[in-house]
Amino acid sequence: MNIIKTQPKSITTDSTKYCPGCGHGIILRLIGEVVDELGIRERMILTAPVGCAVVLYDYIFCDVVECAHGRAPAVGTAIKRVHPDKFVLIYQGDGDLAAIGMAEIIHAANRGENMSVIFVNNATYGMTGGQMAPTTLIGQKTTTSPSGRTVKGMGKPIRVCELLATLEETKYLERTSINSVRNINKTKAAIRKVFQNQLNGIGFSMVEVLSMCPVGWKVPPIEAVQFIEEQMLNYFPLGVYKDTE
Amino acid sequence: MAKKAQVNLEKCKGCDLCIGVCPTGAIHRSGTSNKKGYNYIEINFEKCNGCGACYIICPDCCFTLIETTGSAR
Amino acid sequence: MAENNDTGSDTKRVLMKGNEAVGEAAIKAGCLCYFAYPITPQTETPEYLAKRMEQENLIFLQAESEVAAINMVFGASAAGARVMTSSSSPGISLKQEGISYIAGGELPCVIINVVRGGPGLGNIEAAQADYFQSTRGGGHGDYRCIVLAPNSVQECYDMVMNAFDLADFYRVPVIIQSDGIIGQLVEPFDMHPYKPMFEKLPPKTWALTGCAGRKPNVVRTLYLNPANGLEMHNRKLEERYKKIHSELRWSETYNCDDADIIVIAYGATSRIAKSAIKKHNTNGVKVGLFRLKTLWPWPDVELVEIAKKNKDVKFLVIEMSMGQMLEDVQLSLMDVVPKKDILFYGMGGGWNPTPDGVYEKISEIINK
């Protein structure tokens, strides 16, 4: 009996703190697969955000820095400049990147920092129990938009890929999803592209991943997958929003 | 030689996402829970064709895809 | 442990502004990264370093905000580099969360605060009203930063070099508490080569450099489990701060052996006060000066010694604030000097004392 596929070597945990059906777990494995395939674990420096993924260092076997909420792009900027030969991966959630850290991600992108960003968009603040995030959909109920997000007073969800695409120094921007096997495979390809860009010195590359947060959305995992299919994909179309080819 | 999926029951959190994506309906709930209290799944080996869909969707890396030498268990 | 800055042969006598001298000192001390943001009255530092760091092929970056800048300091320090940032009061307030993370992460760095009038937008006059903020940690949680207070362009230069060594030696943030006067002051000083304070600095085995050939390093400040993990971390930091307090109290005295009045001051006010003190001394009035060079750790032991040596002495604390260091003076002397003998002469809002003003204040006390 030989093993065709099992947990990627650079993933060290046998059990994460993520909730059942949480998308972070899938993305974590995809990162592990790509890191193993590219053989970059030993030169990788990863920023952990404030949010559900804050204890990434318990899951990935590489150097990790835990950043203040929203500041990973600034921290990563400095690390990449101190160690231009190392691989810097910025991992952020939607509250981290698109709310408190919006200035940091825009300016890191605008400076064309040669780093890879994985932006997990699950339309809520998961760690703190499901509050409204900048990407929460109109009408979506959260603990801080109890009768559903309204445009009046709360604005519309922010489309980050489209926003950053206007910054000419961004080199690759793609939005994918992990709500189906096919989309997960496409997410892995996008992660590989965003990693490869950094290794080739192309510049700022980001993949925005629509991800499930069953506990935050207060639905079983199976319905969370449908929520992306039926709701999120309409407002957050998948696709490549910037590429150098 | 047959490709199969194996599952580590202690890691399963009973999210059932694999049940939905298995093309041959080889996965079902076991009805019992593991040490952490999660209702874990079971694989029907005969039905499993080792396609790996479960491995791809699983948020907790519970599955291992193997190639059995000789008869399937 | 006194700071040693003896001048070697390749020392030049140079005329420079305080805000520029700190930049040159950083480069000579091996600072690799500097993250800036414009704010009066410190902007000469980023302007100077923008030119010089380009010449030296170092890492200069003007960030989008002071918040981003301090987090870049966090990243560069976590990556093992010597790193500095500078700002002035409102910008330093924005950096407080980052400084708390840097202290919690046991990361070395140098932060220059050219203090201006506050609160709020305040004004661009020199002030000393950030004393509490700098000496009490400033951000959330129990931590301290070493705080050095230069009162000349020479000390701007020397103390920045010392700051890098102290930061690496103790793995704490080091603040240079300058002010609008010291920062804008132009005077000659000895631009000597960098001379390390310590023979050996602890190697940065904890730095993030890619885990080839070793276990991964993690720089973090979150301690969820075990439940008392953060408590143990705080105990460890407290031990370090006690050690720093026992080893690093810098102060200077002038005429304090037999004095009726002793002025306590630091930074710009200490020099202004000294002119008035000298004038009184020529008139036979016994006035001395106790000048702090480290605001944290506070030189309490030295002050108590002086108080014991001078029976019935009165202390006159002079600050460009509503009285912040005053509290540390009262705290240190509470068993030694009656509170009524600790007097205060100061004002916030960018007020600056004059030699004559100090002279008259001392005369008032003498004549009472």
Nearest chain B residue to A225 by CA: give it.
B17
The CATH architecture of the domain made up of B2-68 is 2-Layer Sandwich (3.30)
Looking at residue A133, its pLDDT comes to: 98
In this predicted model, what pLDDT tens digit does every residue of C170-185 receive, in sequence order? 999 999 999 999 999 9
Among A1, A5, A181, beta carbon nearest to B69: A1
**Which H or E element spans position A34?**
helix A23-38
Looking at residue A109, its pLDDT comes to: 98
> How far, in Å, are C105, C316, C362 from residue C311 at the CA level?
45, 15, 18
Among A29, A184, A222, beta carbon nearest to B20: A222
The domain defined by A24-132+159-243 carries CATH number 3.40.50.720: no
Residue A166 and residue C163: Cα distance in Å, rounded? 42
- The mean of the pLDDT values for chain C is 96
Examine the fold and report which residue of C172, C191, C210 is the final residue of a domain before the chain moves on. C191
- Same domain for C166 and C77, yes or no, is yes
Is the pLDDT assigned to residue A189 strictly greater than 60? yes
In this predicted model, what pLDDT tens digit does every residue of B2-51 receive, in sequence order? 999 999 999 999 999 999 999 999 999 999 999 999 999 999 999 999 99
- Same domain for C180 and C280, yes or no, is no
> How far, in Å, are A5, C22, C63, C307, C343 from residue A183 at the CA level?
19, 54, 37, 76, 73
Q: Are C63 and A78 in contact (CB under 8 A)?
A: no
Say which CATH number the domain at C340 has. Answer: 3.40.50.920
Nearest by Cα to C261 from C330, C329, C315, C333: C315
ipTM value greater than 0.90? yes
Q: Residue B71: pLDDT band by 50, 70, 90 thresholds? A: low
- Domain assignment present for residue C118? The answer is yes
Q: How many helices (H) and strands (E) does chain A have?
A: 10, 8
- Domain assignment present for residue C312? The answer is yes
Question: Tokens 């400049």 label which residue?
Answer: A81
The distance of A182 to chain C (nearest Cα, Å) reads 33
- Tell me which residues of chain A, numbers 73 to 92, contact chain C at a CB-CB cutoff of 8 Å: 74-79, 81-83, 86-87
Question: Tokens 């076997």 label which residue?
Answer: A61
Is the pLDDT assigned to residue C147 strictly greater than 70? yes
Measured CA angle at B32 (ends B29, B37), to 5 deg: 110
Tokens matching residue C24: 């040159």
Per DSSP (E only), the strands in A17-115 are: 44-48, 63-66, 87-93
- Domain assignment present for residue C34? The answer is yes
Report the pLDDT averaged over residues A113-127: 98
In this predicted model, what pLDDT tens digit does every residue of A193-224 receive, in sequence order? 999 999 999 999 999 999 999 999 999 999 99
In this predicted model, what pLDDT tens digit does every residue of A41-87 receive, in sequence order? 999 999 999 999 999 999 999 999 999 999 999 999 999 999 999 99
SS (H, E, C) B1-17: CEEEEEECCCCCCCCCH
Looking at residue B69, its pLDDT comes to: 79
Q: Residue C225: pLDDT band by 50, 70, 90 thresholds? A: confident
What is the DSSP track for C30-93?
A: T--EEEE---TTSTHHHHHHHHHHHHTT-EEEE-SSHHHHHHHHHHHHHTT--EEEEE-HHHHH
- Domain assignment present for residue C201? The answer is no
Question: Domain map of chain A by residue range?
Answer: 24-132+159-243
Among A45, A66, A77, beta carbon nearest to C222: A66
Is the pLDDT assigned to residue C50 strictly greater than 60? yes
Among B8, B21, B66, beta carbon nearest to A181: B21
> How far, in Å, are A176, B36, C158, C195 from residue C5 at the CA level?
59, 62, 7, 7
Q: Are C80 and C208 in contact (CB under 8 A)?
A: yes
In this predicted model, what pLDDT tens digit does every residue of C258-274 receive, in sequence order? 999 999 999 999 999 99
**Which H or E element spans position B40?**
strand B39-43
Nearest chain B residue to A185 by CA: give it.
B56
Q: Which domain, by its residues, includes C258? A: 252-367
Nearest by Cα to A210 from A145, A147, A124, A139: A124
Among B16, B20, B59, beta carbon nearest to A22: B59
Looking at residue C3, its pLDDT comes to: 52
Looking at residue B1, its pLDDT comes to: 77
The distance of B30 to chain A (nearest Cα, Å) reads 16
Q: Are A16 and A59 in contact (CB under 8 A)?
A: yes
Report the pLDDT averaged over residues C350-354: 95
Task: For C339, list phi and psi in degrees, rounded to 5.
Answer: -55, -35
Looking at residue C226, its pLDDT comes to: 87
Percent of chain C with pLDDT over 70: 98
Nearest chain A residue to B3 by CA: give it.
A4
Number of structural domains, chain C?
A: 2
Looking at residue A25, its pLDDT comes to: 97
Residues of chain A that touch chain B, judged by Cβ-Cβ distance less than 8 Å: 1-8, 11, 14-16, 18-26, 29, 180-181, 184-185, 214, 220-222, 225
Q: Would you tell me how many other CB atoms lie within 10 Å of the CB of residue A165?
A: 15
- Domain assignment present for residue C124? The answer is yes
Contacts of C50 (CB under 8 A, 6+ apart): C36, C60, C62
The H-assigned helical ranges of chain C are: 18-28, 44-55, 66-78, 89-94, 96-104, 131-135, 153-170, 180-184, 229-247, 267-282, 300-309, 325-333, 355-367
- Same domain for C257 and C171, yes or no, is no
Enumerate the β-bridge partners of residue C345: C318
Note whether B17 contacts A21, CB cutoff 8 Å: yes
Question: Tokens 């593991």 label which residue?
Answer: B34
In this predicted model, what pLDDT tens digit does every residue of A46-57 receive, in sequence order? 999 999 999 999
Among A20, A185, A214, beta carbon nearest to B56: A185
Contacts of B16 in chain A (CB under 8 A): 21, 220-222
The distance of C76 to chain A (nearest Cα, Å) reads 5
Q: Would you tell me how many other CB atoms lie within 10 Å of the CB of residue A100?
A: 16
Cis peptide bond upstream of C226, omega within 30: yes
Q: Would you tell me how many other CB atoms lie within 10 Å of the CB of residue C56?
A: 13
Chains that touch A (3 or more CB pairs under 8 A): B, C
Note whether A21 contacts B53, CB cutoff 8 Å: no
Is the pLDDT assigned to residue A245 strictly greater than 90? no
Is the pLDDT assigned to residue C1 strictly greater than 50? no
Is the pLDDT assigned to residue C126 strictly greater than 70? yes
Examine the fold and report which residue of C153, C176, C191 is the final residue of a domain before the chain moves on. C191
- Domain assignment present for residue C243? The answer is no
Looking at residue C6, its pLDDT comes to: 54
Residue A215 and residue C244: Cα distance in Å, rounded? 47
Note whether B17 contacts A222, CB cutoff 8 Å: yes
Half-sphere exposure of A121 (CA within 13 A, CB side): 29
Looking at residue C97, its pLDDT comes to: 98
Whether C and B touch, i.e. at least 3 CB pairs below 8 A, reads as no
Report the pLDDT averaged over residues C221-229: 90
Looking at residue A28, its pLDDT comes to: 98
Contacts of C51 (CB under 8 A, 6+ apart): none
Contacts of A24 in chain B (CB under 8 A): 59
- Same domain for C19 and C152, yes or no, is yes
CA C64, C69, C72, C74: dihedral to nearest 10 degrees? -150
- Contact of A61 with chain C, judged by CB distance below 8 Å, is answered with yes
Count how many pairs of residues, chain A against chain B, have C-beta atoms within 8 Å. Answer: 80
Chains that touch B (3 or more CB pairs under 8 A): A
- Same domain for C165 and C286, yes or no, is no
Residue B54 and residue A191: Cα distance in Å, rounded? 20
Q: Are A211 and A121 in contact (CB under 8 A)?
A: yes
In this predicted model, what pLDDT tens digit does every residue of C4-23 receive, in sequence order? 455 557 999 999 999 999 99
